[in-house]
Structure 1
Amino acid sequence: MAAGQWRKPEDISRTKDTLKYYTDLAKLAEKGKVSAIFFADWYAGFEIYGGSMDAMLQAGHQVAHLDPLPIAAAMAAVTESLSIAVTMSTSYVNPYVLARHYSTLDHLTGGRVAWNIVTSWAKSAANALGYEDVVPHDERYALADEYMDVVYKLWESSWAPDSAVWDMEKGIAYDPSKVKKIEHKGKYFNVSGRNQVHPSPQRTPVLFQAGASKTGTAFAAKHAEAVFLNTSTLSQAKQVIANARAIAKEGGRDPKSLKFFPCIVPFIGKTEEEAKEKYAYALKYADPVAGLGQFSGYTGIDMAQFPLDEPINLTGHAQAGAIQSVFNALAASEEGQDGSKWTPRRLGIKMALGGLHPTPVGSAEQVADVFEEWSSELGADCDGLNVSSVTNPGSWTDVVELLVPELQKRGIYWNDYDVPGGTFRENLLGTKHLRDDHYASNFKWPKEGPVQKEEASKQPEEVAAMPTQATEGSHAEPVKSEPVPAMALPPVQAAIKVQ
């Protein structure tokens, strides 16, 4: 998220292609009792700025992403309780293959894994994967909704909880009577097969989502167990959280079972003066052009068309309203700043040092005040914060050695994991498997999906034998892609859960 910081002599981001980079990060996070490491991910890259990826490649910013799945397994191997959340897309990964990936990772990590569900929106990704363009926004979510039915069937319906027998006398490893094919015939997917992997510790990984649109919020209220937010102010976050929890409640879920983690980019010092020095030092290395390349990738607007040091003139621009709304959000995150005079350089620097996210600069006590305010019911009522680094490993060291002890002293951060060595869901929600009020509970063995209204008069045994068609008739009309997609999160973040 912080473009240009790799040029600092002490920054180790140049070694992000080595295993030690990630295993050291994992051990540091577990030392600080951090809930989870979160990997954002996407395909291809941002090539809107200047019509190419040159700016991003030259800056070394949000490019050359390694596949996070094998990294997650390595991080789990050097830790006992830290969890890992990995992003994968419903737009391009076959659901049968994805189910196998996460079942495998859940086994290898002892149940310390989450899936961040995304619907890919970048045209560069579509082109790289063989498509002419992205699927329109609402249809992507309709497809994703059916996708979830498929993976729920594979994770929850295909193998009975006691299917692994390992009876040496009878010579039975897996009881064939307790393993069945799932049969799914829908608008987007046809799947006939057993999950290739036996039930993992969590069966279904913890489910994260980051969509902020109306459709994305509805999707999260139905499927997500935790949500990453890209909100710049307390009031904005509070509104998003309250809205999503209200929708979840309408769907029969305990609204408090849906956890929210807004993103934050803190500059932490032993004193306020030291924190300000760290900010000034980061500002020295901030790359405004890379920040603009990131902004262009998120919004689809080529910011290279505007002179770098002149106020951005939106007169006659087709997406003037979309750009101005982002400027307003950025200004809201800069107290006392003039939101009307944005130059590309100012925008690029802002993006290179945290973007839309709150960026408190202060002592551990001052930053802890911000965490406490965001997590209070009078603030944003969030369940924790998703910390993004500015420099590696300095930002993470500051969190673990300075911020965490202050949060613990205030009693708003655990002294140890609730379930040391337990699964992610146990440490997040207090249960190993999906809650009974989650939509996916309709797919738990031997069930194959929710009972439809028109099936209410059928005999129970008939209903139980029928595969679900929960989403086939409820697809929204395709609409044009949103002018400003929900901003992607940085490649590696730490989810800090507060009590």
Structure 2
Amino acid sequence: MIRFNAFEMNCVGHQSPGLWRHPRDRSGDYNTLAYWTDLARLLERGGFDGVFLADVVGLYDVFGGSPAAALRQATQVPVNDPLLVVPAMAAVTEHLGFGVTVNLSYEVPYLLARRFTTLDHLTSGRIGWNVVTGYLDSAARAMGLDRQRAHDDRYDLAEEYMAVAYALWEGSWDDDAVRRDRAAGVYADPARVRAIRHEGPHFRVEGVHLGEPSPQRTPVIYQAGTSPKGRGFAARHAECVFVSGPSPQVIAPRVAALRQAAVEEGRRPDDLLIYALATLVVAETDAKAQAKLDEYRSYVSHEGALALMSGWTGVDFSTLDLDAEVRHVENDAGRSAMDNVTRADPSRVWTVREVAEHVGIGGIGPVFCGSPATVCDALEAFVAATGIDGFNLAYAVAHETFADIVEFVVPELQRRGRYPMAYRDGPLRRKLFGRDRVDPAHPAARHRSVTGAA
């Protein structure tokens, strides 16, 4: 089966800078409930695994040394909290999952654990957490720091953070702690509830988890790092991994490395579901689809695209000539975006202009354009060439891109036997992996109490 997530963000435009100006685009309504409930119904009708909600803390201010370009082009700003739209989407759906990005560098684990437990209850177990450590110095300054931690140090912090969160979710309450015994007047048995105690270099926590056990306990863990440190973190913790790159030549080695790293951590290669970024532009015929893509490209903001790329890489693209070759730079921003257009595919040399044009529709992933048959052929070929499990689908025009996928692509993949015909019942983890709780080989399972083990 080829799996789909919708790649969204609680902002204007997300991965297609400038397309908010398109007359059919709805992303300017991102701050209304109807925008999100309409999207949720559409995605569930199309059998999507879930909506993957990106987030960023801070502004893209690397381009030109100022946030002016990002503000002018609505480059992921303004941006609202992604967690708060989930209950509204859950209320109008039964099966759709929600993978939500939260930056742990600026969150207290004790309170974040409660928020995810709350959402796991409210969604009947359909919540996941995309664990990120951030890549913008502007976020660090907004939090009172001079700059963000060094790239690898952020992952060291994340390791300890996850240990605290797992202990709260898995170890504080036994499965049978909640009795709800009206006759005896006992809601929870104190003997089945305990404080977790953690003291490490970054966190000191002593307390009982505030929420009672939720359907999944630990949310489904998503992760998107493919640097050596990020890959190791994903191999230990992730259940779903998001990779991005412009071609199979970039994606395939990353997928193989992730699966091998999982094996080295004592897990199975298929313990990871790997989704690659892509954008689909589809219509009844190849010609109509190409005309639609040409129309979309006429709205692309190159300034917005380079503001995005500057934020992702930490390199000020405003200082480079449009026809200059992009060269690799090592810094404390994200590593994958720079690798994508420098050394990940030695056969391809990118100019700044080419980066702007490519990023303008759907970010750094490929764009598949054509009739349903043409697009599905391309999707099948990409899966075969890379070993991915599915796609994180960005949009060009909200919600038109996803409506076209539901109308044209999903039925064609189902006809080929490559897309599920119906959802599996139960929580998100059961839909994806056939179980409600984390696998026994997952590090979260080590924090289960003896009486609470499942």
Asked if Structure 1 and Structure 2 have the same fold, meaning a TM-score greater than 0.5 normalized by the shorter chain, the answer is: yes
- Find the partner of 1:131 among 142, 145, 169: 145
Partner of 1:464: none
C-alpha distance in 1, partners of 2:261/2:339?
25
Q: 1:123 to 1:431 in 2, by over 3 A?
A: same
Deviations 1:192-251 (CA, angstroms, capped at 9, x unpaired): 001100000100000000001001101100000010001222233222122111121122
2:388 aligned with 1:382: yes
Q: In structure 1, give the amino acid aligned to 2:407.
A: E
Q: CA deviation at 1:446?
A: 3.1
Partner of 1:463: none
Task: Indicate if the aligned counterparts of 1:264 and 1:388 stay in contact, CA closer than 8 A.
Answer: yes
Q: Greater shift after overlay, 84-93 or 351-360?
A: 351-360
Q: 1:166 to 1:233 in 2, by over 3 A?
A: same
2:182 aligned with 1:168: yes
- Find the partner of 1:347 among 355, 372, 377: 355
Matches within 5 A, 1:413-424: 413-419=419-425, 422-424=426-428
- CA-based RMSD of the aligned residues comes to 2.3
2:382 aligned with 1:370: no
Q: In structure 2, give the amino acid aligned to 1:359.
A: V
Counterpart secondary structure, 1:266: strand
Task: Indicate if the aligned counterparts of 1:207 and 1:223 stay in contact, CA closer than 8 A.
Answer: yes
Partner of 1:425: 429
Task: Indicate if the aligned counterparts of 1:232 and 1:329 stay in contact, CA closer than 8 A.
Answer: no
- Find the partner of 1:440 among 430, 444, 449: 444
Task: Indicate if the aligned counterparts of 2:168 and 2:196 stay in contact, CA closer than 8 A.
Answer: yes
Counterpart secondary structure, 2:70: helix
Q: CA deviation at 1:318?
A: 7.1
C-alpha distance in 1, partners of 2:217/2:125?
8
Task: Indicate if the aligned counterparts of 1:254 and 1:437 stay in contact, CA closer than 8 A.
Answer: no
Partner of 1:356: 364
Partner of 2:120: 106
- Find the partner of 1:145 among 122, 137, 159: 159
Q: CA deviation at 1:314?
A: 7.0
Partner of 2:413: 407
Q: 1:322 to 1:41 in 2, by over 3 A?
A: closer
Q: Greater shift after overlay, 298-307 or 76-85?
A: 298-307
C-alpha distance in 1, partners of 2:421/2:337?
43
Q: In structure 1, give the amino acid aligned to 2:290.
A: K
Task: Indicate if the aligned counterparts of 2:279 and 2:362 stay in contact, CA closer than 8 A.
Answer: yes
C-alpha distance in 1, partners of 2:189/2:142?
42
Matches within 5 A, 1:291-310: 291-308=305-322
Residue identity (%): 37
Question: How high is the TM-score relative to the length of structure 2?
Answer: 0.91
**Gaps in structure 1 of 5+ consecutive residues:** 333-337, 450-499
Task: Indicate if the aligned counterparts of 1:291 and 1:348 stay in contact, CA closer than 8 A.
Answer: yes
Q: Greater shift after overlay, 366-375 or 85-94?
A: 366-375
Partner of 2:18: 4
Matches within 5 A, 1:84-103: 84-103=98-117
Matches within 5 A, 1:269-348: 269-308=283-322, 311-312=323-324, 326-328=340-342, 340=349, 342=351, 344-348=352-356
2:46 aligned with 1:42: no
C-alpha distance in 2, partners of 1:155/1:435?
14
Q: CA deviation at 1:354?
A: 3.0
Partner of 1:484: none
Partner of 2:7: none
Q: 1:314 to 1:394 in 2, by over 3 A?
A: closer
C-alpha distance in 2, partners of 1:41/1:200?
24
Partner of 1:117: 131
Q: Greater shift after overlay, 298-307 or 4-13?
A: 298-307
Partner of 2:226: 212
Question: How high is the TM-score relative to the length of structure 1?
Answer: 0.83
Task: Indicate if the aligned counterparts of 2:309 and 2:337 stay in contact, CA closer than 8 A.
Answer: no
Q: CA deviation at 1:292?
A: 0.8
Deviations 1:9-38 (CA, angstroms, capped at 9, x unpaired): 111111111111111000000010111001
C-alpha distance in 1, partners of 2:192/2:140?
39
Q: 1:441 to 1:341 in 2, by over 3 A?
A: closer
Task: Indicate if the aligned counterparts of 1:39 and 1:87 stay in contact, CA closer than 8 A.
Answer: yes
Counterpart secondary structure, 1:191: strand
Q: Greater shift after overlay, 242-251 or 206-215?
A: 242-251
Deviations 1:240-296 (CA, angstroms, capped at 9, x unpaired): 122111121122112211110011112111111011001100111111011111111
Q: 1:408 to 1:329 in 2, by over 3 A?
A: farther
Q: Greater shift after overlay, 248-257 or 388-397?
A: 248-257
Q: In structure 1, give the amino acid aligned to 2:276.
A: P
Return the index of the structure with the highest Cα Rg.
1
Q: In structure 2, give the amino acid aligned to 1:5.
A: L
Counterpart secondary structure, 2:357: helix
C-alpha distance in 1, partners of 2:399/2:231?
33
- Find the partner of 1:52 among 66, 70, 73: 66
**Gaps in structure 2 of 5+ consecutive residues:** 1-14
Task: Indicate if the aligned counterparts of 2:57 and 2:103 stay in contact, CA closer than 8 A.
Answer: no
2:254 aligned with 1:229: no
Task: Indicate if the aligned counterparts of 2:249 and 2:345 stay in contact, CA closer than 8 A.
Answer: no
C-alpha distance in 2, partners of 1:139/1:327?
25
